[in-house]
Amino acid sequence: MMDRRALLKITAAGMAIAAVTQPTLAQIELTVEEVLFDPQIPVLGNPAGDVTIAEYFDFQCPFCKRGHKDLIDLVREDGNIRLVMKDWPIFGGASLHASSLVLAAGDDYEKALNAVMATPGRLGREEVDAVLANAGLDPKALLSAFEKDADRIDGILARNMDQANAFGFGGTPAFLINTRIHHGAMDQQMLREAIAAARESRT
């Protein structure tokens, strides 16, 4: 299992690392399958969709939270989008705690994700637990589930962090729409245009 204290130190420095090291995709040999089709990350929307959106996000990022409902609504409205939420907990311990519990939620993953993303402002561990409890989930049970599944979840977080730093992301949110990189927040119109462009490039 990953040393989570080390992970916290690394993620706290994530934005600085991303700002100064920007290796190309070829140099780090990332593949589309590794980035967009990680089998250990839950898929929202249509698992067979013709466009994949991957969002690198943090549960304390105000821009991530502000745009989340619009993103989910668009995915549901479209009906042919795969959505992969790539936890990148760069805002410290509460973010790491939230990612750990949400990724351990199993069939309740989307409920847990949406509940925490709907919170305003900064979070502490207690606030994360309270939000999940208010959504009808048991934080203690989720923590126990995480502890049993820590290798998978820590592996996801480490891969996401490595990818985000390799792509040169300066912070959250950041998106891949199919293989096109988009830095920063995207409103619904920007998302629609990027999705249309991704579909056009496939024809």
Instruction: Please determine, for residue 187, whether its predicted confidence score (pLDDT) is greater than 60.
Output: yes
Per-residue tokens: 172: 């959250």
pLDDT for residue 30:
85
Instruction: Please determine, for residue 14, whether its predicted confidence score (pLDDT) is greater than 80.
Output: no
In whole angstroms, what is the distance from residue 41 CA to residue 135 CA?
Answer: 21
SS3 82: strand
Q: Calculate ∠ Cα 195-64-118, nearest 5°.
A: 115
As a whole number, mean pLDDT of residues 30-52 equals: 95
In whole angstroms, what is the distance from residue 114 CA to residue 24 CA?
Answer: 33
Task: Return the H-helix or E-strand segment holding 56.
Answer: strand 51-57
Express the helix, strand and coil content of the chain in percent, nearest 5 each. Answer: 60, 10, 30
pTM summary value: 0.86
pLDDT for residue 6:
47
Rg (alpha carbons) of the chain, rounded to whole number: 16
Instruction: Please determine, for residue 188, whether its predicted confidence score (pLDDT) is greater than 90.
Output: yes
Q: Calculate ∠ Cα 134-139-144, nearest 5°.
A: 160
Residues 6+ apart with CB under 8 A from 89: 11, 58, 59, 95, 96, 98, 99, 157
Q: Which CATH architecture has domain 4-20+42-196?
A: 3-Layer(aba) Sandwich (3.40)
Domain boundaries, the chain: 4-20+42-196
pLDDT for residue 28:
56
Instruction: State pLDDT tens for residues 49-101.
Output: 999 999 999 999 999 999 999 999 999 999 999 999 999 999 999 999 999 99
As a whole number, mean pLDDT of residues 126-147 equals: 98
pLDDT for residue 203:
57
Instruction: Please determine, for residue 25, whether its predicted confidence score (pLDDT) is greater than 60.
Output: no
**Contact, 42 vs 109, CB < 8 A?**
yes
Residue 171 identity (one-letter amino acid): G
